[in-house]
A and B are shown apart, each in its own frame.
Chain A
Amino acid sequence: MFELLADYLVFDLAGLDSSSKLGESVQFFVMDIAKIFFMLILIIYLIGLFRSFISPEKVRTYVQGKSKFSARISAIFLGAFTPFCSCSSVPIFIGFVEAGIPLGVTFSFLIASPMINEIAVVMLLGIVGWKITVLYVVSGLLVAFFGGIIMEKFKPEKWVEEYVWKIKIGETQNIKKDNCFEVRNRYAIGQTKEIVRRIWKWIILGIGLGAYFHGYFPQEWAQSLGDANNFLAVPMAVLIGIPLYSSTVGVIPLAEAMLIKGVAIGTTLAFMMSIAAISVPELLILRKVIKWQALLLFTAIVTVSIILIGIVFNVIL
């Protein structure tokens, strides 16, 4: 449907040559924009409805007092569904610590939350198809699960800033809300508008880059990156991805272009995960509650897990 629309607009209306590089890029650009904005609005709205039922406060109450295994599983799944802007990571961290939730579980939550989100899922579904979307989500869950466990082995409690242990937070308040559909609907529409307003530029930029590479990506680059036996490709992609911070949105179209040009799936996934999972602004904010040793360790563990997952995918796929 979107391809037909793009073909019509670009080749018939604008009269571009369908075999030229320019035509190919523009057609790709128009098709992706139509497809992604359509899915984005639909899915963010649905998730917004679902989200009006959960909040970090509820997650905390829910995870508190569970056995470590089920606490971690619920923290990861709730992390994947709960939005929080990076400025909330400090209150969430303190809230979890205060509730006696093990630090390893908190780290699992902090890994899962930025990496798996509806925007990334929509972009992946729309651009690279459901198989890679499932792979991405599953690997995100795995990194969050094992990352938290490994973090725990280092006893990170010793790195938590002194004052955090002393904070006594008030009784978690339940905000009085009307539970009718109208209120939830309004909340979901508000969220959709806000998210789209915040990310539309990045999507267009990302799709634009993807479209550009679609027509012009140098074949030699792709070949050197694309060799699955080249074990260096994955660490290289991850090391490039770590300092980049773009909340997955802008990267996915680029990932599509990489895949089309033959870069291995594991390398591409690792690249995307490394961009989403570690963000320097979030680390700087977390520094308020935990010493830099822990943050370095956290970064190292996540980096290594992503590299391993990338390599495993390259080998088995």
Chain B
Amino acid sequence: MGLLDYDFMQRALLASLMVGLVAPAVGVFLVQRRLSLLGDGLGHVALTGVAVGVLTATSPVWTALVAAILGAVLIELVRARGRTSGDVALAVLFYGGIAGGVVLLSLAPRGQATNLDSYLFGAITTTSPQDVAVFAGISVVVLLSVALLGQRLYAVSDDEEYARAVGLPVLGLNVVLAALVASTVVLSMRVVGLLLISALMILPSAIAQLLARSFRETVLLACLIGVLVSVSGTATSFYTGTPSGGTIVLLAIALFLLVTSAVTLRESTARRRHRRRVDVHDAHPHEHGTACGHPPVPHGDHVDYDHDGHLHAPHHTGRGVHYDEHGGHPVAAPPNR
């Protein structure tokens, strides 16, 4: 029996596709701002929202969205006023949110409070067609906002003081980012659960930043990785009968470890290659200079010397002059450079 033969799995895969795409697109700004745990804090606040929804018999998605956005705006205002540190404000929000949620849910009539688990750890297969519609709406709004304001959000996340000095609306942009995080939290609630939300925002960015060279590349790669782990994790959970949230997060962590070790391996072989090339130079030693006969080649902020077709970059170390191999240039360097 195929995966796509079930309506609930179709909806589940659709939901995980949206979450996989949206969560990293917002999360990368949190990583840049070194505020990775904001998503967790807002997830806890969303639980209070869920509880209010259950108690008042309104849709928990909407009440969670309202609670998370209120929490997001509150934390930015506290940070901007500067009386309490962002760290402490976040902690208060964390515990207040989850305590409020647990207490309120316990007041609910018997039978309803039992689905606390599905909010904490995700219950993707219970996604209703209405949920899918709401998620699609949230996804479009979040992705549009990031596309429209991405560069400003990057500017504020990268160097808040500079952004303020040149007159970008720092507080406004911070509130917008926090509201985007809150929306993403609510979107991810069903798929990975409130306790694991940050994982899908942070892990794809953490993997992407190991591989990418630019911020733009990082965002696109993070979204790609997010979709990959989210959809494949959901599919895997169908066959293994494990919870979707935990499966997705474990997949993402496995990928993170894999990429980290691949990058480490690449760097160490590059260092070994570097040492071998240094040996090449040591085999016929002299100090490069204007009179050594090797053509000088300006390279960025220093001068390389063309040494039998490979470029030597001298730099001073504690033990004298050391030569780096700055390859990549053809044998004959352009004479006018």
Q: Do A and B bind each other?
A: no
Question: A-contacting residues of B (Cβ < 8 Å)?
Answer: none
